[in-house]
Amino acid sequence: MVFDDAKKAAYFIWEYTKCENAISLWHCAEDIADFFASCGMISTEDILNFARKEKYSLEYISFVRHIAYRLYAYTGRDDETANWFDAEKLINNAEWVCAIVGAVNKKSDISL
């Protein structure tokens, strides 16, 4: 169920950012799932491949920047460094990656 995966993904965003606005956390998880879907990242391996890239590669920087921006936009936390490190923590958290991929795949099933 999309709800369960998005809820778990939002939980980890809360755990890292400590944002108290549950609906913002939910929207953040949904937006990240939409971003991944738009990039064709529909498996845990797709995301983990980016997490394993050289930290100074343009691909890695662009990927993490998209997630960090969404953390900023939905939590309102303007600490760029904290958002960046939290984005890196998320993509290296296997449980979060599984939840967000589940949300990506279930959302695409619904839209078909």
Residue 108 has pLDDT above 60, yes or no: no
C-alpha Rg value of the chain to the nearest Å: 13
Q: Tell me, what's the pLDDT at 111?
A: 47
| CA–CA dist 55, 99 (Å, integer) | 24
| pLDDT-above-90 percentage for the chain | 88
pLDDT confidence tier of residue 2, bands split at 50, 70 and 90: low
Q: Is 40 left (phi over 0), alpha (psi -120 to 50) or beta?
A: left
What letters, b where the CB count within 10 A reaches 16 and e where it falls short, cover 2-36?
Answer: beebbbbbbbbbbebbebeeeebbbbbbbbbbebb
Give the structural domain span for 104.
2-111
Q: Which residue has the tokens 């998005």?
A: 6
Residue 73: the pLDDT is 98
> Among 71, 46, 72, which Cα is nearest to 59's?
46
* Total count of domains within the chain: 1
pTM for the whole thing? 0.89
Taking the C-alpha atoms of residue 58 and residue 34, their distance in angstroms, rounded to an integer, is 21
Whether 112 has a pLDDT exceeding 50, the answer reads: no
